[in-house]
Structure 1
Amino acid sequence: MNEDPNADEDARLDEIVKRGPSGAIVLAGISTALVIGMWFVFYFAVFLPRGVIR
């Protein structure tokens, strides 16, 4: 009866850690895509209509 009461919790935690930070990577990818998309919108909507700088 010397079972560790946290053994199940430790096993679940190990399984979560093995899966990796997939949610954080997805969030970073979406954020990066949004920033790049906003840059293109700004470029095509603001800079190109102004024409060539002389």
Structure 2
Amino acid sequence: MDTSKIIYSINIEDVQNVAEEELGRKLNNKELKIIEDKIGDCIDWYESILFTITNNGIKK
């Protein structure tokens, strides 16, 4: 398998959908840049991957 293949991604539409639902408006370019720069710090990738592995019967 191609190890550089992207398994999951979040796009601007995803971010704007959440902003509209939670804030009642779309984010501006400055706010989107903040999200772009910081979102990786907010997602615990290791735990997300481990949770998915263990909850789908994948064994050693």
Scaled by the length of structure 2, what TM-score is found?
0.31
**Greater RCO (CA < 8 Å, at least 6 residues apart):** 2
Scaled by the length of structure 1, what TM-score is found?
0.33
More helix by share: 1
